[in-house]
A and B are shown apart, each in its own frame.
Chain A
Amino acid sequence: MIFVKGVGMTRFGTQEDASYHMAYESVMEALNDADMTMNEIDAVFVSSIEVTSNGERQKHSASMLSSLFQKKMPILALPAGCAGGGTALWTAVKLQRSSNYDNVLAVAFDKIVANISKKVTDEILMGGERIYEQTEGLNFPAQNALVAQQYMMKHGATTDDFALVAYKNHKNAYFNPKARFYHKKVSLEEIKSSPVVASPLRLFDCSISCNGSAALIISKEKGSVEIAGSGESNDYLGPFEREDMTSLEATRMAAANAYKEAGICPEDIDIAEVHDAFTPLEII
């Protein structure tokens, strides 16, 4: 059995901290939470998109963490865009189950907000398919706008439905001291009247870029939170080449694997925390 022993997280915002320091901060918090030191960590999985526009010019994040932790151990980098943290954790769980490692650290960090907006847009655009998407200007808001439009036509969803997702998420952020929108009230009217970024998506349908880091230590030693199941899957790079643009096949498969591993079904779930950077995708 695998347990969560410690968690740590920086605040998410526009802070100027260097990437190494954000990783340091979240890992230190996780170590303190687990009542451990780096001596007890056997392996690390790290995820970062290794941004170049932030001026750090620091690829090879695994070795960077070796310097930061002053430890020679298996440290593997798993860049996976928005799914980076989840991918690092899933891999950590799989490795721990099949090895004699007692404690494994999963950490993710990114410093994206450190340049003018068009440079940041370009940096993130590099996550899209290079020939069909990047050259056609299909940045991520545009990509998800096309997906949203297909979903609206197929299922009758409206932009008001998307606005409710943003409203709910901003209400949560209001109470979260680590969120960029902590104690910032956003009304439904503000969301609905915000500027159109890529029709039909408005500004508040798109998550704001942030800098930050999160870390988690998993252990074979019993703790209060057990990871009962986890799943991972990928889908084709461009939504346009997927059979059905309005279904997240990879998410379905990953969830099915997690349920199977845990031996439970969706009805057994009391609370779900889902992530995507765009409101329609939460509905999908």
Chain B
Amino acid sequence: MIIRWICDRCNKKWIYPVEKCVYCKGEITKQKGSKLKVVGITKVSIQSPMHPIIPYNIILLQDEFGNRMPKKTMKDYKLGDNYIQEKAKTEDAVSIAKVKYDVYEAIKETLGLLKFELSPNDKVLVKPSIIAAAYPYQAVNTDPEFFDALLKVLFELGVKKEDVVVAEQALIGSDVNDAAAKAGILEVCKKNGVNFFDISKGPFEEIESEGFSFKIFKEALNRKVINAPIMKTNFQLGFSGALENLARFADEKTQREMYYVGFDKIIAKLAKVIPNVFTIADATKAMQGQGPLASGEPAFLNLVLAGKNFAAVDAIFCEVTLLEIPPYIDAYGKCLDSKHIEVVGNEVDALKYSILPAVPHDTPHPDIKVIDGKSCPACLNLLYNLTSKLIGLRGEELNLIIGSMLTEDMLKGKERLVALGGCAIKKLQSMKFEPMAEIEENIDQFEQLVLLKKLLITQGRPKITPIDKVKSKMTKLLSKVIR
């Protein structure tokens, strides 16, 4: 499809979605050309970072209105050929659209190529990714513009506003309402007249799946779930997107257990108990580098991906961005080989573009490294919050140990080891390993920060003193007064 914005009065035409004509101030109408013909072809043999695979073809397409656009393809076309976007033939197909200044049209395009239907009687739960308070430009949470367009598309497909709820919970330790407000999602919900629910408040239903017991947000079991994650690199998991987003349908205890037992295995079991999920993923502004929190940076990909098989959506995104497909996605079992997933809308090879992967042992602080024993989101969040607050304060390198999946090999040769959180502390005790210090997750955050600061800048084995505790109380009181 080729889109142009045209002035109703004077017929001036734009590739940009302008609101009014700059000449006659007339209203603007969207012109959508769908009968596309190939009117030009070039085979390109020069590589660039955005286009690493050569040679590739660029075809010049022209629609029934005479509008043109270039399109990159690995296929060979002839002048005069019709350009037709094939619809998906398989259940597990993934559809990819490029956003051409109009994210709403891109979402519609992805859905139009798949078997996706909603009826006026459907009750829908839309689940964005909102894990922490961050501005939209930081690409930590699902983008509000994408989310607004998604709701618009759902309403147009016939779902009643009163039958749509938006639900999410932030990483354990963060407040989802604060996060959703900063992310701009609450405003979108308000604008569209839909309710926003904090999943952590429940109610939950206990469900057993393949020997594991989950407490799952009840609404997710009774409604059609539209899974709307933002696609991000993740220093702990490698990548987090569609499948990982479903983990936050579980209550806090289940989430902690999932990581304790092994996220790789359990997430697949959890995903199987949510009966009706369809993913429409936000890769308009994805995240690269040290995700999933604000240490990552935006990757301006301008893509929307959709599919019924969320693991397939994740796998294809990894394929496009040249990230390794994490084991937890493979463990879901429905997309063992991404080469065999049907992709419609755009060709994977024509999209391939390398984004920065996450580095497993880095934290926001240059002198604090992490040894991750697959910690749960609570400790992950704590790690990020503590280390980012000490940026600017240099010290001797510290190794923070989080999570419980620890082995002696992981600790071998490492010095100045500090256990952070109950899981790591317990595990190290069971291994009869004494770290330099322990930071409990349930003590006051000010005290945690003071202790970590002391550990960073001193040589001995500092502890929290009674004076620190008084200071902590005073700081808390002061912040309450200020609020």
| Interface: B369 (CB within 8 A) | no
| Interface: A187 (CB within 8 A) | no
Question: A199 to B51, Cβ gap below 8 A?
Answer: no
Shortest Cβ distance from residue A17 to the other chain B in the assembled complex, whole angstroms: 26
Interface centre among A135, A138, A198 (most CB of B within 10 A): A135
Can you name 18 A-B pairs with beta carbons within 8 Å? A118-B49, A122-B49, A122-B50, A129-B15, A131-B100, A136-B70, A137-B50, A137-B72, A139-B46, A139-B51, A145-B42, A145-B44, A146-B58, A197-B45, A198-B43, A199-B41, A201-B42, A245-B68
Report the Cα distance A138→B70, complex, angstroms: 8
Indicate with 1 or 0, residue by residue over B31-65, a CB within 8 angstroms of chain A CB atoms: 00000000111111111111100001010100000
State the majority secondary structure of interface residues on B: strand
Question: B71 to A136, Cβ gap below 8 A?
Answer: yes
Question: B44 to A121, Cβ gap below 8 A?
Answer: no
Chain A interface, number of residues (Cβ within 8 angstroms) = 34
Task: Considering the complex, give the chain A residue whose CB is closest to the CB of B101.
Answer: A131
Question: B49 to A132, Cβ gap below 8 A?
Answer: no
Report the Cα distance A46→B432, complex, angstroms: 69
Question: A121 to B100, Cβ gap below 8 A?
Answer: no
Chain B interface, number of residues (Cβ within 8 angstroms) = 28
Report the Cα distance A146→B70, complex, angstroms: 9
Question: B45 to A195, Cβ gap below 8 A?
Answer: yes
Question: A241 to B15, Cβ gap below 8 A?
Answer: yes
| Interface: B302 (CB within 8 A) | yes
| Interface: B336 (CB within 8 A) | no
With known contacts A138-B70, A150-B40, A198-B43, A131–B302 Cβ distance under 8 A: yes
Chain A residues in 8 Å Cβ range of B71: 136
Report the Cα distance A199→B57, complex, angstroms: 9
Question: A135 to B42, Cβ gap below 8 A?
Answer: no
Question: A139 to B72, Cβ gap below 8 A?
Answer: no
Tell me which of B39, B46, B101 contacts A141 (CB under 8 A): B46
Question: B49 to A137, Cβ gap below 8 A?
Answer: no
Question: B302 to A149, Cβ gap below 8 A?
Answer: no
Interface residues of B (CB under 8 A from A): 15, 39-51, 56, 58, 60, 67-72, 98-101, 302
| Interface: A83 (CB within 8 A) | no
Tell me which of B41, B51, B100 contacts A149 (CB under 8 A): B41
Shortest Cβ distance from residue B58 to the other chain A in the assembled complex, whole angstroms: 5
Chain A residues in 8 Å Cβ range of B42: 142, 145-146, 149, 198-201
Interface residues of A (CB under 8 A from B): 117-119, 121-122, 125, 129, 131-139, 141-143, 145-146, 149-150, 195-201, 238, 240-241, 245
Chain A residues in 8 Å Cβ range of B69: 132, 240
Chain A residues in 8 Å Cβ range of B44: 137, 139, 141-142, 145, 197-198
Task: Considering the complex, give the chain B residue whose CB is closest to the CB of A199.
Answer: B43
Chain B residues in 8 Å Cβ range of A139: 44, 46, 48, 51
Question: A198 to B46, Cβ gap below 8 A?
Answer: yes
Chain B residues in 8 Å Cβ range of A198: 42-46, 58
Report the Cα distance A146→B71, complex, angstroms: 12
Report the Cα distance A122→B353, complex, angstroms: 13
Chain A residues in 8 Å Cβ range of B41: 149, 199
Task: Considering the complex, give the chain B residue whose CB is closest to the CB of A123.
Answer: B48
Question: B46 to A240, Cβ gap below 8 A?
Answer: no
Question: A240 to B43, Cβ gap below 8 A?
Answer: no
Report the Cα distance A197→B56, complex, angstroms: 11
Chain B residues in 8 Å Cβ range of A129: 15
Task: Considering the complex, give the chain B residue whose CB is closest to the CB of A124.
Answer: B48
Chain B residues in 8 Å Cβ range of A136: 58, 70-72
Shortest Cβ distance from residue B114 to the other chain A in the assembled complex, whole angstroms: 22
Shortest Cβ distance from residue B273 to the other chain A in the assembled complex, whole angstroms: 38
